Structure 1
Amino acid sequence: MTIPTWPASLPKPERDSWSQSPFEARRKRQTEGLPPAFSRRFSGVPETVALSIVVSRAGRAVFDQFYKEDTSFGAKPFYMPDPTTDGWALLDGAGNPMLTEGGQPILLSAQWLVFFGDDLPKQTIEGVRFRLAFSVMVMP
């Protein structure tokens, strides 16, 4: 099985709508007369990330095709660039970008293996563009 990859033509997620939260990985046991006790439920814990992108009509068509055909309406996993790392400059200890011999910044690269999460894609119109908001489950 070939795992699809997030289309490169789609923009990076917006910073304002991005939020990350851990998946509930605890098992709660209620004890009589005492505070509840917790134990781990899973050895690997996914994270839920909510994000949105703003696209043109053509970008919306690319996203729709990716969602409907490539991921079977969100049932299949896919690779996606990690928006918190991918494309950002590598920094030295002082916080300055590290450069190549040609003076170009060295960029980080990272990707996630994800599924579409509980918040399936919602589309709203903003002028002539579309905002697509959805969540993904980042696999450990």
Structure 2
Amino acid sequence: MTIATWPAELPKPERATWSSLLQEARLRRASDAGPAGYRRRFSNVAKVVTLSVLLDADQRARFDNFFEHDTKKGSLLFRMPDPTTDGWALRTSGGSLLLTSDDQPMLIAAMWLCTFGDQLPTETIVGIDFRKTFTVEVMP
């Protein structure tokens, strides 16, 4: 089975709506006195990321097609460039850019394996554009 890939023609997620949290991996133990204790429930958990993309009409159609057909309405895994690191320039510990032999900056390539989360895409209109807001669960 082939894993779908986030369409390259879609813009990067907006920074203003970004939020990220880990799924709860602990199990709370009640105690008769004192603070509650915790133990691990799972060895690893997904990261839940809420994000939005601002799309023109063509990009909106591409997003809808990706969601409806490529991920079967959000039920299949897909690969997505990590918006927090993919495409960023590598730097030395002193802050200088790392360059290739032809003096181009070396870029980080980072992909997530994820699925659409509990909040499926919702759409709002912003002028002549469309904002899609949704969550993805990034696999560990």
Query: In the alignment, what sits opposite 2:106?
Result: 106
Question: For residues 139 and 52 of structure 1, what CA distance do their matches in structure 2 show?
Answer: 19
Query: In the alignment, what sits opposite 1:50?
Result: 50
Which deviations, in whole Å up to 9, do the C-alpha atoms of 1:52-81 show, x marking residues without a partner?
111111100000011111111111111100
Question: For residues 95 and 129 of structure 1, what CA distance do their matches in structure 2 show?
Answer: 37
Give the letter aligned to residue 84 of structure 1: T
TM-score (norm 1): 0.96
Which deviations, in whole Å up to 9, do the C-alpha atoms of 1:102-126 show, x marking residues without a partner?
2211110000010111111111111
Question: For residues 14 and 55 of structure 2, what CA distance do their matches in structure 1 show?
Answer: 11
How many pairs does the alignment contain? 140
Per mean C-alpha deviation after superposition, the further-off stretch among 34-43 and 78-87 is 34-43
1:34, CA displacement in angstroms? Answer: 3.5
Query: Structure 1: any 5+ residue segments left out of the alignment?
Result: none
Give the letter aligned to residue 127 of structure 1: G
Query: In the alignment, what sits opposite 1:88?
Result: 88
Give the letter aligned to residue 104 of structure 1: Q
Query: Structure 2: any 5+ residue segments left out of the alignment?
Result: none
Query: In the alignment, what sits opposite 2:137?
Result: 137
TM-score (norm 2): 0.96
2:30 aligned with 1:30: yes
Per mean C-alpha deviation after superposition, the further-off stretch among 98-107 and 60-69 is 98-107
Query: In the alignment, what sits opposite 1:74?
Result: 74
2:130 aligned with 1:122: no
Helix, strand or coil: the match of 1:115?
strand
**Identity percentage of aligned residues:** 51
